[in-house]
Each structure stands twice: as C-alpha cells, then as structure tokens.
C-alpha cells in the first residue's frame, strides 16, 4: 500500500461531501502527493482538509479551496495558465494535470527553489516558473487562457487583467485581512464580469 493512501481516500470523500464534483480535479488531488509539499514535521497532517504553514510565513492552501479554485477555472486540458504565487508548488502541481502548461511566478526565491525541486521530484514537466513581481504578470507569454492568484490583492492589478485572453477566466481572492472574497472574472469583448464564490483568507498580495 502506498503511504497516506487511506488518508488520501478520506480526503477525497470529504471533498465530495463538501460538493466537489469535478472528477478531473478530484483525480488530480488524488495523484499529487501533498505530503511532498509540506515540512516533514507536518506530513502526518498532509491530507487533513486544512491549510498548513510553509516557509517564510506562507501557507499551503486548504485542499477544499484548491479544489474550488481549480474547478472554477473550467479547464479542458488545452489551456495555458498563469499562476501568481507559486508558494509550495502544490497548486501548480494540481493544475499540471488539468491544463497544457502552467506559468508560475513567485517573489520569494527560497520558496521558488523548493517548489522547483518538488515539481522535479514528482516528475511534473509542464510547469515553468520564474522569480518576479506577480503584479507584472508574464507579458512575453501573454495572453493566457486562465489566470489564478494564490495571494489576495486589495484589487486585481490592471496588468494581470490585461494578460487574460478574451473568453478567459481568472480566479482570485480579493480584499484585505478578514474581508477577502474568492471571485471569478470572465473577460469578454465587452469587458470584465466578476462573480463572488465564497469568503476566504489568503496571505496578502505583495508588489515589489
């Protein structure tokens, strides 16, 4: 039996019970070894439905939130996705099973080095990372079919909105402190349409 197999199965059941029905998202969560993305001392808690601390005062998101955000992107396997905030690399690893390529930006070099090592270790090959200011996005690779933020700005930077394709979807936490909301933003020829999903609590978005 693989390590954490029972804990992983329990997490999948929990997510289903909380209304996660996207089979592809659940399959990705089942395939990515979350224990690889947390400190060794916390590995026993890797499959609890809870956020956990990682280095440099950052966190790895609660699996339910990862699932909600991944499902909200409505991925078909063909998309190019921009992720702002690589963090542990866990969200990028999930997305790697759901889209064609992930472009992920992290502003903290130690986190990026660790994330790259983890992704390499689990043989993820369709995630490209860079060190940089997330507010600037990745202009030379834009526009993107989807954009996901794993940190919360007070408002979405215009440079990121402008890197979303017409017909694209952005999923992001927005707001300050205890007043954050997870939103989806769809871009059409007419502009941007925003919808609120649920209240959340993410680390703040920091611009360099």
Take residue 23 and report the two structure tokens written for it.
Answer: 């089979």
pTM: 0.96
Spell out the residues 6+ positions from residue 139 whose beta carbon is closer than 8 angstroms to its own: 159, 163
Does residue 143 fall inside a structural domain?
A: yes
**Domain of 193, in residue numbers:** 5-200
Are 74 and 52 spatial neighbours (Cβ–Cβ below 8 Å)? no
What span, in angstroms and rounded, lies between the C-alpha atoms of 138 and 135? 9
- The tens digit of pLDDT for each residue in 165-192 reads 999 999 999 999 889 999 999 999 999 9
- The tens digit of pLDDT for each residue in 186-196 reads 999 999 999 99
Does residue 208 fall inside a structural domain?
A: no
Distance set, CA 201 to CA 67, 72, 140, 150, 174 (Å): 15, 17, 31, 10, 9
Question: Looking at residue 3, what is its pLDDT?
Answer: 78
- The tens digit of pLDDT for each residue in 63-119 reads 999 999 999 999 999 999 999 999 999 999 999 999 999 999 999 999 999 999 999
| Domain of residue 95, CATH code | 3.40.50.150
Active-site positions read: 61
Does residue 52 fall inside a structural domain?
A: yes
- The tens digit of pLDDT for each residue in 8-35 reads 999 999 999 999 999 999 999 999 999 9
Are 161 and 192 spatial neighbours (Cβ–Cβ below 8 Å)? yes
How many domains does the chain contain in total?
1
Grade residue 207 by pLDDT with cuts at 50, 70 and 90.
Answer: confident
Report the share of the chain in percent with pLDDT over 90.
Answer: 93
pLDDT (mean) for 150-155? 95
Does residue 181 fall inside a structural domain?
A: yes
């Amino acid at each position: 039996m693989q390590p954490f197999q029972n804990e992983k199965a329990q997490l999948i059941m929990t997510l289903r019970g909380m209304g996660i029905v996207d089979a592809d998202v659940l399959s990705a969560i089942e395939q990515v070894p979350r224990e690889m993305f947390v400190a060794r001392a916390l590995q026993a808690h890797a499959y609890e439905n809870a956020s956990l601390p990682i280095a440099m005062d950052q966190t790895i998101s609660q699996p339910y939130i990862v699932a909600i955000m991944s499902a909200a992107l409505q991925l078909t396997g063909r998309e190019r996705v921009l992720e702002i905030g690589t963090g542990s690399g866990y969200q990028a690893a999930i997305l790697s099973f759901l889209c064609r390529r992930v472009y992920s930006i992290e502003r903290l070099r130690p986190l990026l080095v660790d994330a790259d090592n983890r992704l390499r270790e689990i043989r993820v090959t369709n995630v490209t990372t860079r060190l940089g200011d997330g507010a600037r996005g990745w202009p030379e690779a834009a526009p993107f079919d989807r954009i996901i933020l794993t940190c919360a700005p007070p408002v979405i930077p215009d440079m990121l909105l402008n890197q979303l394709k017409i017909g694209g979807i952005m999923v992001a936490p927005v707001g300050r402190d205890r007043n954050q909301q997870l939103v989806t933003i769809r871009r059409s020829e007419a502009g941007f349409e925003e919808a609120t999903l649920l209240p959340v609590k993410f680390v703040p978005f920091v611009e360099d």
